[in-house]
Amino acid sequence: MSSAALSVSESLDTVMITPVDFAFVSAKLHGMRSRLHEGPRLEPLTGLRNVFEMMRSLYPGTDVGGRTGFERRLVEEHIGELMRVLVFLDGPNRDFFEWQLERYRIENLKVVLRGWKLRMPREELEALLVTLPPAYALPTAKLLETAKLIELIRLMPVSLFAEGIRRGSVQFHDTNRLFYIEAGLDAVYFEELCRRAAHLSSTDAEEVKELLRREVLIYDVLFIMRARLNYDLTVEDVREFLVTGTDAAPQAALFESMLRAQSFGEMLEACPEQKALLGPDGGVPDLDALQRRLWERLYLAANRMFYRSMFHMGCVEAFYYIKRVELRNLIRVAELLRQERSARDIQRELIRLPEG
């Protein structure tokens, strides 16, 4: 276990602050944000000569173990910061944020499932997993020992994980594609997040749902495009994995035209709520550019919420998305430095706030 993960688990055992003082939490989050790699603190990294300089810049005097170890360290520190936010919360706010952090266990589970399918050696697989606090552990060794999917489902530490796997199991057995199981896991994750958002107090719920609904809409739009264009799923199969129909999710009818479209351009034209999702600049040339644009708009919405919300859960939710953008950008900088791209090229591919 990394020292970062250990310190997080220790803090969870020793720190409890109740009831939630969001003025205090907001002040803490503003201090934490001042240390994030965004804007002027991110830009110098794009001008480094290679990824090894980036490693030395972020972790001087530390051997992070090459490419995989470096990215794993970035993710573990990202999670550690979010776990430190968790200790400030209680009641429904804590329940909601705890499930939000389950995202990272689900990502580990997806890696385990790929290793299980390929029959990877345990040591090789575990080198790919992010170290999480004990409460978010997976029974990796036992999962790898199973021969059948039904046996793997019985070992799930969270019942909703089992439900997600079952949701994609029929298509998996028919096609041998883990894509369906991963889609099932993503769907139950967002559905449970929407359910927990509904239990927040009225003002907390209003602020949280403003950002959560945008992320769910992004998920649905990108899922439709990937499923239809990259995996050639039928419209009926795609519908099974969309997240729709709650206060924090779009209505299914919004996606009918998009589901029936046959090309990226047609899907983009049929994309719901285009102005909110894409902004005033209009269309984008491909799926990668679309994902970046969608996240830039979410980043902008989170940034506005961060400065607007001082006494409710919105400040925490905004920080969560801002942190995720920071992590995405750091990993992208590392990828492009390996490709020996120029600083200007790298900066074009980052998720950034509009200037001015």
pLDDT of the residue at 245: 84
pLDDT band for position 19 (cuts 50, 70, 90): low
Q: How far is CA 162 from the centre of its chain?
A: 20
pLDDT band for position 127 (cuts 50, 70, 90): very high
Give the type of residue at 106: I
Examine the pLDDT at 5 and tell me if it is beyond 60.
no
Query: Does any domain span residue 356?
Result: no
131, 192, 136: which is closest to 12 by C-alpha? 136
Query: Does any domain span residue 354?
Result: no
Query: Does any domain span residue 353?
Result: no
CA-to-CA separations, 262 to 1, 222, 238, 249, in angstroms, rounded: 47, 15, 14, 24
pLDDT in tens, 162-206: 999 999 999 999 999 999 999 999 999 999 999 999 999 999 999
What is the domain extent for residue 21?
3-348
Query: Does any domain span residue 210?
Result: yes
Examine the pLDDT at 155 and tell me if it is beyond 60.
yes
Examine the pLDDT at 157 and tell me if it is beyond 50.
yes
Query: Does any domain span residue 283?
Result: yes
pLDDT band for position 65 (cuts 50, 70, 90): confident
| Backbone φ, ψ for residue 105 (5° rounding) | -70, -40
pLDDT of the residue at 174: 96
Query: Does any domain span residue 303?
Result: yes
pLDDT of the residue at 195: 97
Of residues 19 and 163, more confidence is placed in: 163
Query: For the chain, how many structural domains are there in total?
Result: 1
Structure tokens at 183: 């889609």
pLDDT of the residue at 67: 80
Q: What is the mean pLDDT of the chain?
A: 92
pLDDT band for position 62 (cuts 50, 70, 90): confident
Separation of first and last alpha carbons in the chain:
43
HEC letters along the chain: CCHHHHHHHHHHHHCCCCCCCHHHHHHHHHHHHCCCCCHHHCHHHHCCCCHHHHHHHHCCCCCCCHHHHHHHHHHHHHHHHHHHHHCCCCHHHHHHHHHHHHHHHHHHHHHHHHHHHHCCCHHHHHCCCCCCCHHHCCCHHHHHHCCCHHHHHHCCCCHHHHHHHHHCHHHHHHHCCCHHHHHHHHHHHHHHHHHHHCCCCHHHHHHHHHHHHHHHHHHHHHHHHHHHHHCCCCHHHHHHCCCCCCCCCCCHHHHHHHHHCCCHHHHHHHCCCHHHHHCCCCCCCCHHHHHHHHHHHHHHHHHHHHHHCCCCCHHHHHHHHHHHHHHHHHHHHHHHHHCCCCHHHHHHCCCCCCCC
Average pLDDT over residues 282-294: 92
pLDDT of the residue at 252: 92
Separation between Cα atoms, residue 109 and residue 188, nearest integer Å: 14
Query: Does any domain span residue 355?
Result: no
pLDDT in tens, 198-235: 999 999 999 999 999 999 999 999 999 999 999 999 99
Average pLDDT over residues 275-295: 91
